[in-house]
């Protein structure tokens, strides 16, 4: 793992990429390298989705919810008159894999932080274009709703749920979660995290849900979370764990805008995390370098 990270580091420096930090973790521990001055925690953008999905997995492990639960059942009393009845068929699985029926994705971070819009009202007021499960339209809506469902079944704020179920057991030091004006976690984006801690999260997945002698997530959830459930237009598989994978590859990864990434290798049992701010396709170069071992 460290040889691969060192090759990645050399490539980043040689090509002057705006990558802040890289970190990896395997059975020998954590390797961390700061490449540019940056905050101690950085916006992980859509890597946040994978953390939110993990909390959903923890709730499923505890029998509090199931992937077949209907989303509208958790929002009774909040549904507007005349809402599209196709919402009645949308399940928790559908919102995790961006297949709840929207014509296009929305609610991305720049749209949310500049408005006091009630997003639940807006989401359920919008007509759907497709039936549930018919098409994938990448969006931030699903994880936003999923985080609220988690909060409802645990009867505590989502920030408490993720802290108790994921952050604290993995020994995270510093973190933050951006919320909307109603106090709901954006959950699909906006988690500010340390790169080392992201590597811990990936390593936990690589180890089948274990971190040291602590069981964070069940083996069943980790298997399901890493299995392709739907495909984007470019052919990439998308999983219930809100991660991406390519055909015939054991590795998979969480991915976020501007070069955020957690690469997970469940065969070699290691992970690599990256925080950056660049339009360079970091995902492709990281995956290619790391696949070489």
DSSP string, 5-59: HHHHHHHHHHTT--EEEEEEEETTEEEEEE-S---SSEE-TTHHHHHHHHHHHHH
Q: Has residue 113 got a pLDDT over 70?
A: no
What pLDDT is stored for residue 160 in this prediction? 97
> Residue 203 class from Cβ within 10 Å (0-12 exposed, 13-18 middle, 19+ buried)?
buried
pTM: 0.95
Q: Has residue 7 got a pLDDT over 70?
A: yes
Residue 9's pLDDT band (boundaries 50, 70, 90)? confident
What pLDDT is stored for residue 2 in this prediction? 81
Sign of CA dihedral 182, 161, 168, 187: negative
CA of 72: how far to CAs of 138, 153, 185, 279, in Å?
20, 14, 19, 37
Residue 236's pLDDT band (boundaries 50, 70, 90)? confident
CATH of the domain at 244: 3.40.710.10
Instruction: Give me the number of domains the chain comprises.
Output: 1
Structural domain boundaries, residue 193:
2-291
Tally of CB atoms within 10 A around 281? 10
> Which H or E run includes 221?
helix 219-225
pLDDT digits (tens, 9 = 90+) for 24-35: 999 999 999 999
What pLDDT is stored for residue 172 in this prediction? 97
Q: Has residue 114 got a pLDDT over 70?
A: no
pLDDT digits (tens, 9 = 90+) for 133-167: 999 999 999 999 999 999 999 999 999 999 999 99
Do residues 58 and 217 lie in contact, with contact meaning Cβ atoms separated by under 8 Å?
yes
Do residues 239 and 249 lie in contact, with contact meaning Cβ atoms separated by under 8 Å?
no
What pLDDT is stored for residue 111 in this prediction? 64
DSSP at 191: E
Query: What's the rounded Cα separation, in Å, for the pair 36 and 18?
Result: 8
Q: Has residue 217 got a pLDDT over 90?
A: yes
Query: What's the rounded Cα separation, in Å, for the pair 43 and 198?
Result: 11
**In this predicted model, which residue has the larger pLDDT, 289 or 153?**
153
**In this predicted model, which residue has the larger pLDDT, 102 or 107?**
102
CA of 92: how far to CAs of 72, 154, 175, 250, in Å?
10, 16, 26, 26
**In this predicted model, which residue has the larger pLDDT, 47 or 288?**
47
Question: How confident is the model over 268-277, as a mean pLDDT?
Answer: 94
């Amino acid at each position: 793992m460290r040889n691969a990270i060192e090759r990645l580091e050399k490539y980043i420096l040689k090509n002057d990429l705006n990558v802040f930090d890289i970190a990896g973790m395997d059975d020998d521990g954590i390797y961390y390298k700061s490449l540019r001055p940056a905050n101690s925690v950085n916006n992980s953008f859509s890597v946040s989705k994978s953390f939110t999905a993990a909390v959903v997995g923890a709730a499923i492990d505890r029998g509090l919810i199931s992937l077949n639960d209907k989303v509208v059942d958790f929002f009774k009393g909040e549904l507007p008159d005349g809402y599209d009845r196709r919402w009645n068929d949308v399940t928790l699985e559908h919102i995790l894999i961006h297949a709840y029926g929207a014509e296009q994705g929305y609610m991305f971070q720049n749209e949310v932080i500049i408005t006091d819009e009630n997003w639940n009202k807006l989401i359920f007021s919008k007509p759907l274009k497709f039936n549930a499960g018919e098409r994938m339209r990448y969006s931030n809506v699903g994880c936003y709703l999923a985080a609220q469902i988690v909060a409802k079944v645990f009867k505590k704020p989502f920030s408490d749920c993720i802290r108790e179920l994921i952050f604290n057991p993995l020994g995270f030091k510093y973190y933050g979660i951006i919320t909307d004006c109603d106090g709901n976690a954006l959950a699909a984006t906006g988690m500010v995290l340390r790169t080392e801690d992201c590597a811990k999260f990936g390593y936990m997945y690589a180890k089948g849900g274990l971190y040291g002698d602590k069981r964070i997530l069940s083996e069943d959830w980790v298997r399901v979370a890493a299995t392709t459930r739907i495909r984007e237009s470019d052919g990439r598989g998308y999983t219930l764990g809100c991660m991406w994978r390519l055909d015939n590859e054991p590795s998979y990864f969480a991915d976020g805008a501007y070069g955020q990434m957690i690469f997970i290798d469940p065969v070699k049992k290691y992970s690599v995390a990256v925080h950056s701010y660049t339009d360079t396709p970091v995902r492709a170069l990281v995956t290619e370098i790391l696949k070489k071992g």
